[in-house]
Amino acid sequence: MTFKNKHSFISGFLGAALLIASSCALGGCTEIADEPQGIDDAGNGTPLTIRATASGFVSCVQGDTPATRTPTENGYTTEFNDGDAIGIFALKEYATPDVTPVDGVYNLKLVYTKAADGSGSWAPASGDTHVLYSYDDLVYVAYYPYREGITIKQDIETEIFKDLAANAKLQPAADQSTPAAYTGSDLMAAFARPATDPTDANKKVLTLAFEHLHALLVLKTNKLFNCTPPAGAGFEYSDPMLGADATAKDAVINGIKALPMGDGTFRAIVKTASADIVPTGNYKTTGDKTVLYTGASLAAATFTAGKYYTQQVNMLESPDESVIRPLQEGDFFCSNGKISPYEANSFSSPVIGVVFYVGRHPEDNGVYVDKNGNPMEVHGYVINRSEGTDQWHNGGGTDFGTYKSTTDFNGYFNTDKLQAISAGYNDMMTYVRKQTNSPQTTSGWFLPSIGQLIYIKKKYAEVISKSFDKCGGAMGRGWQHHYWSSTEATAANSYNINWDSGTYSQKNKSSGSMVRTALAF
C-alpha cells in the first residue's frame, strides 16, 4: 500500500521550523517593509516562526494495541503533502468572550509547500499578503482541515474547540474510503500564544500542538489459515492460525464507508456522542460473502475525542488458504509433539510449554538423544508451563561437573551430569524425573542452565508472557520468585535467577527455590 498519511500522530515536530513570511520575504527580501496595524502596540510586532505538533490517538481500552493514523507497523511514511491547508485565527485575548481579529488573520488559509529536499514551509495562499506576528496578549487558534466560512464565537479554548467539533462543515464524511476523505475527516485544533524561541532570544515562535476533536474506530478482520512449516523445518503444526483477512473489502463502520489500510484493517473517523455507542457494520470477504458484526457497547465517557477503539472480527470457518510459517518464539508446544502457532484461536492438543528459542544455540554442547534413545537434531527449546519448589540438592557439597558458564544453553548436558544424584534424595532432580508428559521424540524435560533462564527472562515480557497468558502457567508467581538453574557455581552453590529483578546469583544448594523444566525438540 502506498498511501502516505498527511499528518503525524506521534508527538513531535512535523519537519523543520515552518516560517510564515510576508510576500516580500517570500520573494527573498530579509526586511519587513511595513509595520502591521490593527493592535495597540502594532509597531512592536515580530514575525513568527510556526512549529506544529500533533498528539496521537490514545486507546480507550487498557492494553489495546496503539493505532496511529498511518500504522507504523506497516512502515508507511508520515508526511505533509503539497496543498495541505490549515485555518488560523489571530485574536486579542480580552477578558470578555469577544472575538476581535488581529491584522485580518481570521480563518486565514495557510498552505503547505514541500521542497525537493523533503523540507517544507507554510505560507498564505498565493497572492495573500497577510503576515503572522507576535504581540502581547495575542492568541492564535488553528484547525485542520481548512474550510471556507469557518467562524468562532469566543476566545475560551475549550468552547472554541467545542464549536469547531460541532461545525457542520467539519464533520466526518460518510464516505472515508479514500485517503483524502479520511484525512479530511480528522478534525484537529490547536490553541497557542507566541513565545520566545529557546534557541534564539531575538525570535518568536508559535507552537501549535494539534489535538483530535473526533474519535477513531478501527476494524480488524481475521480469518483462519492452515500453517505449513518451511521445507526441512523438522516440526509440524497442529492447529491453524488467525491472520489478517487480505480479501476483506468494502467495510462499513457505524454507517461510514471505511478506509482500507491494505492489511485487513479499516479505519473511520467518527464524531463523539453523548450516549454510549456500539461498533457495528459489515464487510465483504472471500467470494464476496458479506460478514456482519456487532461489538460491545463503548461508554460515552470513555470513547472521547482523541481516543480510538479496535473492533476485531474473527472468521472461524474452515481455512481455505495455507501460509508457510517459520517457527517463532512464543509458539505453543503440544503434548502430541506438534506446534500450535501463537496466533491459534484454540488448541486441538494440550499445551505443555512455550517455545523460547528457535534453532540450536551456539553455546549448547549437549549430545542429544530423544526419549526413544535415538540421536536427534535440535530445532528449538521449550519452557514448561508447570513448575514446582524444591532444594537443588540436600546431600552435601558435591561438584557434579556441570558447565560453570552463565551464558551457555547447556541445561541438557548439565542435567545429564545431575543424574548422578541418587533418586533417594528429596531435591529438584526428583521433581525433574517426575515430569513425564514430554513426547517421545523430544529430549525429555531437563533443568535449564542459568544462561537459558536469563534468556527466557529477557524475552519474557515481550513475547513469552503473552503466550502464558493464553495457555496458563505464568512465571514468577510462586512463593520464592527465584528459579534454580542446572549451572553449578561451586561444590556448595548453584546459580539461580531472581524473577522480579532479572539478576542471577549463587545460592546454597540446600536452599529452596522454584523449579521449571525445559526440553529440546
Is the whole-model pTM more than 0.85? no
Residue 8 scores a pLDDT above 50: no
pLDDT digits (tens, 9 = 90+) for 289-343: 999 999 999 999 999 998 999 999 999 988 989 999 999 999 999 999 999 999 9
Q: Going by DSSP bridges, is the β-strand pair 108-114/307-315 parallel, antiparallel, or unpaired?
A: unpaired
Q: How much is the pLDDT for 84?
A: 84
Q: How much is the pLDDT for 470?
A: 95
The dihedral sign for the CA sequence 10, 59, 245, 326:
positive
- What proportion of the chain, given as a percentage, has pLDDT over 70? 83
Contacts of residue 300, Cβ cutoff 8 Å, sequence gap at least 6: 272, 273, 274, 275, 276, 277
pLDDT digits (tens, 9 = 90+) for 329-374: 999 999 999 999 999 999 999 999 999 999 999 999 999 999 999 9
Look at 356 and 273; give whichever has higher pLDDT: 356
Q: Are 217 and 69 in contact (CB under 8 A)?
A: no
Q: In whole angstroms, what is the distance from residue 128 CA to residue 419 CA? A: 87
The CATH classification of domain 18-213, taken from the options 3.30.930.10, 3.40.50.970, 3.30.70.980, 2.60.40.2620: 2.60.40.2620
Q: How many CA atoms lie within 13 A of 323 on its CB side?
A: 17
Domain boundaries along the sequence of the chain: 18-213, 217-265+272-324, 332-520
Which band of pLDDT confidence, cut at 50, 70 and 90, is reported for residue 94? low
Is residue 375 reached through a cis peptide bond, with omega within 30 degrees of 0 on the bond before it?
no
Of 135, 122, 114, 146, nearest in space to 4 by CA: 114
pLDDT digits (tens, 9 = 90+) for 99-125: 677 888 999 999 888 878 877 777 888
Question: Which backbone phi and psi does 366 adopt, to 5 degrees?
Answer: -70, 145
Residue 50 scores a pLDDT above 80: no
Of 178, 149, 174, nearest in space to 271 by CA: 174
Contacts of residue 117, Cβ cutoff 8 Å, sequence gap at least 6: none
Q: In whole angstroms, what is the distance from residue 321 CA to residue 28 CA? A: 61
SS3 508: strand
Question: In sequence order, what DSSP letters do the residues of 124-174 get, joined into one string?
Answer: EPTT-----EE-TTEEEEEEES--TT-----S-HHHHHHHHHH-GGGSPPS
Q: In whole angstroms, what is the distance from residue 110 CA to residue 155 CA? A: 21
pLDDT digits (tens, 9 = 90+) for 381-425: 999 999 999 999 887 788 999 999 999 999 999 999 998 776 666
